[in-house]
Copies of this chain bind each other. A is one copy, B any other.
Amino acid sequence: MLSITSVVKGQINPERPLKAWATNAPRPADERTAVNTRADPLGGGGAATRGKAATIYDVAQAAGVSHQTVSRFLRGFEGIRPETRERVVQALEDLGYRPNLTARSLKSGRSHRIGALTHEISLVGPSRIVEGASIAAREAGYVLDIVSLDSSNPRAIEDSLALITQHDLAGVLALAVTDEMTRAFAATAFRVPAYVAAESEGVPADPRGILSRVGLPMLVAHLAELGHRRFVHIAGPSMWSAARNRVRDYEAALHSRGLQSVGILHGDWSAASGYRAISELAQVPDATAFLAANDQMALGAMLALKERGFRIPADVSVVGVDDIAEAAFFDPPLTTLRNDFEGQGRAAVFQLLARIGNTEVAPMSVPAPLLVIRRSSGPAPQR
């Protein structure tokens, strides 16, 4: 258990003035480069930093202009005389001005926060999605307000939505979605754009957009080419649309090749559930290929199969989905489908920003799924 070391931050003098006022404003080109140049030996900034935060009024007074002129400068307005501009810049730096985003968004009605509701962020998938989203948001000048649902608390969704609707956000995102969350989301009246990032279940405009639609056939093809004919799927929890999609696309892929599914087992994404799915069976299905809906369940399933005396891949092949970082070091290393979680998070943020009206975001290109062949899959045994 880590202990918590506190760093009490008084108004310590900022060694490196952050020049945060320049962050979101269209700034003169030469500003960008010179962040570390001001080596102020404890003077100047000290006085200003000590008390309360400087406002545009303070800056205005220091520069001998009106607060509005300061505001104009900050917002990138062009028509300011060079000498005036000079004085404002100077005052800004001297006082170490930082915009008060609260006041800004109160007046402008715009905020730079995105609410992100997510399930089980401690799972690998969701956490990577959140990371991608967080980084994309930061790059666009937003921060992500993360509300992670505690699945042990039945009222969590309600509470979280109540929390989210109060804060004023630029938009709301649902990441890593279960049906429950989708429903609660749809029933809530947000006053801002809201998006649910989920594997769509209908017929999507761009089928590349669904990992399982394109990826599962690749997995099945790989196994079929190795001679496998009898398959078992270890599915995720059916309240996750991602889990349902994988079941559907698994069956479709088999069907289109005239192969058969020997059975579908159910897990909850965890390695433990993959292990139980196999080990609790009275008898292991007569299949040669096991396709788990994610790598963790594949890991658990592999252990259970080995304990039952199956050799992998000599007797049975096991494949997963996601290509988590550890999959290459399972024993045997796992054949799987690479899933670009970070990309999903980015894409979700970009989609939301586009709807928010931020036109500067580039449309996301959807990376194609990638089949990663390792040693957990091999030729089907001859009977």
| Known contacts A4-B347, A326-B271, A344-B1, A9 near B163 by CB under 8 Å | no
Given A49-B189, A296-B325, A329-B299, decide whether A161 and B122 contact each other with a Cβ distance below 8 A: no
- In chain A between 320 and 358, which residues have their CB closer than 8 angstroms to a CB of chain B? 325-326, 328-331, 333, 339-344, 347-348, 351, 355
B2 contacts A189, CB within 8 Å? no
Which residues of A131-169 are within 8 A (CB) of B? 131, 134-135, 138, 141, 143-148, 150, 158-168
A2-B211, A20-B162, A147-B134 known; A102 vs B105 contact (CB < 8 Å)? yes
Residues of B within 8 Å of A162, CB to CB, are 18-20, 23
User: Which candidate, A62-70, A77-85, A198-206, A231-239, is the interface stretch facing chain B?
Assistant: A198-206
With A12-B189, A143-B147, A163-B141 given, is the CB distance from A3 to B326 under 8 Å? no
Q: Which residues of B contact A146 (CB under 8 A)?
A: 130, 134, 143-146
Residue among B105, B185, B209, B274 making CB contact with A3, cutoff 8 Å: B209
A339-B128 contact in complex given A12-B189, A148-B134, A165-B20, C-beta closer than 8 Å: no
Q: Which residue of B lies closest to A350 (CB)?
A: B4
A17's nearest neighbour on chain B, judged by CB, is B189
Q: Give the docked Cα–Cα distance between A270 and B10 (Å).
A: 37
Q: Tell me if A367 counts as interface (CB < 8 A to partner B).
A: yes
Residues of A within 8 A of B (CB): 1-9, 11-16, 18-20, 23, 35, 49, 52-53, 96, 98-103, 105-106, 111-113, 115, 120-122, 124, 127-128, 130-131, 134-135, 138, 141, 143-148, 150, 158-168, 185-200, 204, 206, 208-211, 242, 270-272, 274-275, 296, 299-300, 302-303, 306, 325-326, 328-331, 333, 339-344, 347-348, 351, 355, 366-369
